[in-house]
Amino acid sequence: MNEDARLSRREFLAVTAGTMVAIGLPGLFATVGEARQTELAAQLRPDGRPRVPPGQTVIERIEDMGGRPGSLRPEDFRLHVHGAVETPFNIDFREFMEFGQQDFICDVHCVTGWTLLDATWRGVPLSVLVDRARPSADGRFMVIQAAHGYTTSIPLDEARKPDVFLAHTLFGAPLPGPNGGPVRAVVPDRYFYKSAKWVEGLKIVSRDEPGYWETRGYSNSADPWKEERYSR
Ligand SMILES: Nc1nc2c(c(=O)[nH]1)N[C@H]1C(S)=C(S)[C@@H](COP(=O)(O)O)O[C@H]1N2
Ligand SMILES: [Mo]
């Protein structure tokens, strides 16, 4: 996203935040009010796609969708970038923070039907980490590896897009443990199960290795605008 789009989104949020109402529906999630929901449904993104993908309901704050956490202590963090690469490497949290840091504002879309708009994060683009490892010519996919064997995969081309990143900060505070602290992946334009929490490794592979949810009935392509929720 360019800087203009970021700024207009921030202003937009400031103007509208006061009108957001928690009605606690559907069921579990604090959704924004109905009038606001309709208004948002009419908006388009800078790329021309609807701001809110089909079948999604906008909620007010990020949810904790569970999963089995790794250690939440930055001192324990290690990131292994490996696989079909020329220069694999292994870094700790301090070394991770020495990579160029960027701010990101993005929307996230959970396959269960909620969408959170304008989440603000800080972290490192995946492309920077990938470039450091120098993928070999046959590297086509990235397996994002997380604590206790959770994995998810995305095409390497997707991983290299400038809006895909590893985050350590959410809304100006260290990423909360339940949301994947100290470091999680964020792949904004795919359903949120592609955004692995408690990340431990990035493995470049030549053939795709569909991950935890992708082998349990969820779509491997996971495009929210095509409603690719389930595999078939
Ligand atoms: N390591 C790990 N990452 C994970 C999961 C998980 O179970 N383990 N769940 C995924 C799913 S299904 C979703 S919807 C999002 C939820 O992120 P949140 O809890 O921050 O909302 O994390 C994704 N990343
Ligand atoms: Mo999910």
Q: Is the pLDDT of residue 41 over 80?
A: yes
**Ligand located closest to 193 CA:** 1
As a whole number of angstroms, the distance between CA 168 and CA 176 comes to: 9
Ligand 1 site-directed mutation target among 65, 79, 145, 184, most atoms within 8 Å of CB: 65
The pocket around ligand 1, CB under 6 angstroms, is made up of: 62-65, 67, 110, 146-147, 150, 179-180, 192-193, 195-198, 213
Atom number in ligand 1 closest to CA 108:
21
Ligand 1 centroid to Cα of residue 137, in Å, is 31
Ligand 1 centroid to Cα of residue 108, in Å, is 12
Asked if residue 36 lies in contact with residue 60, where contact means CB atoms within 8 angstroms, the answer is no
Q: Is the pLDDT of residue 15 over 90?
A: no
Ligand 2 centroid to Cα of residue 99, in Å, is 29
As a whole number of angstroms, the distance between CA 70 and CA 47 comes to: 36
3-state secondary structure of 54: coil
Q: Is 55 left (phi over 0), alpha (psi -120 to 50) or beta?
A: left
- CA-closest candidate to residue 13, choices 188, 191, 171: 171
Nearest CA to ligand 1 atom 2: 197
How many CB atoms within 10 Å of residue 38?
9
Express each pLDDT in 145-192 by its tens digit: 999 999 999 999 999 999 999 999 999 999 999 999 999 999 999 999
Average pLDDT (121-140) is 98
Average pLDDT (49-58) is 97
Main-chain phi, psi angles of 180, to 5 degrees = 110, 10
pTM for the whole thing? Answer: 0.89
What letters, b where the CB count within 10 A reaches 16 and e where it falls short, cover 179-206? bbbbbbbbbbbbbbbbbbbbbbbbbbbe
DSSP sequence for 162-222: TT-EEEEEETTEEPPGGGTTT-EEE-TTS-GGGS-SSEEEEEEESS----TTTTTTB-SS-
As a whole number of angstroms, the distance between CA 122 and CA 141 comes to: 24
Express each pLDDT in 75-120 by its tens digit: 999 999 999 999 999 999 999 999 999 999 999 999 999 999 999 9
When computed from its CA atoms, the radius of gyration of the chain, rounded to whole angstroms, is 17
Show Cβ contacts of residue 151 under 8 Å, excluding neighbours closer than 6 positions: 143, 144, 145, 196, 209, 211, 212
